[in-house]
Structure 1
Amino acid sequence: MAEHERVLVKHAVTGRMLVNSKDGVAYTFDEEGGLTLITLTGVEAEKGAAVVELKAELNVFRFEEPEDGPVIKHWYYVGDNPVTYDADSNRLTIAVQSEIEYRPDQYWA
């Protein structure tokens, strides 16, 4: 987890924030079998259950926020890939199949 980064998991339909790494949630990104596994640790049980329930309607974002440069946004496509939550470890795992990277400063002046 980088100091000037954050990960957000949102409900795509309503825009409801489900998980925000700024709320004390640690995360890792790991490649496995052609997918990227995003593992979020420290997710409260209620939020983890909500993410699993809404797994077909998720938007997952990573924001790079360097002090001396523009924000870089990454959008990850979940599709029908696995989304799991382990209540014993407060660990949420989201498998994503693709990523779109974009820089808002290139679209708005």
Structure 2
Amino acid sequence: MQQQERVLVKHSVTGRMLVSSTDGLTYSFDPEGELTLIKIYGVSPAQGTAVVELNSELNVFRFEEPAEGPVIKHWYYVGDNPVRYDADTECLSITVQSEIEYRPDEYWE
């Protein structure tokens, strides 16, 4: 069995799910110096608009789910970095400035 991975974009205040790669979306992570550009493809205009409107209140997560071993969570801090949506290509671009990696199994059993 191969490792699974998923990406989620949530509203940090309400916890509302805005975008999830489990909906068949694809994504990429591209380091750009001290920042990372996350691109999520196949995002609907309604989702893209909601994310851009809430750009200062976003939580972005990446979950690594290995076939053997515990889940590894990555939390990305957006801050005041650019969040853009291109309706023509259905591409959501989120620039993040930091990442915190943690394993839930280290906090509770």
Q: TM-score category by the smaller chain?
A: over 0.9
- Stretches (4+) displaced over 4 A: none
Q: Does 1:54 align with 2:64?
A: no
AA paired with 1:9? V
Q: Does 1:80 align with 2:80?
A: yes
Q: Deviations over 1:8-31 (max 9, x none)?
A: 000000000000001011000001
Gaps of 5+ in 1: none
C-alpha RMSD over aligned residues: 1.1
- Percent identity reads 71
TM-score by length of 2: 0.96
2:3 and 2:23 map into 1 onto residues whose CA distance is: 13
Q: Deviations over 1:14-73 (max 9, x none)?
A: 000000001011000001132100000000000000000000000000000011110000
> Is the alpha carbon distance of 1:31 and 1:41 closer, same or farther for their aligned partners in structure 2, counting shifts above 3 Å?
same
Q: How many residue pairs align between the two structures?
A: 108
Aligned to 1:68: 68
Aligned to 1:14: 14
1:56 and 1:14 map into 2 onto residues whose CA distance is: 13
Gaps of 5+ in 2: none
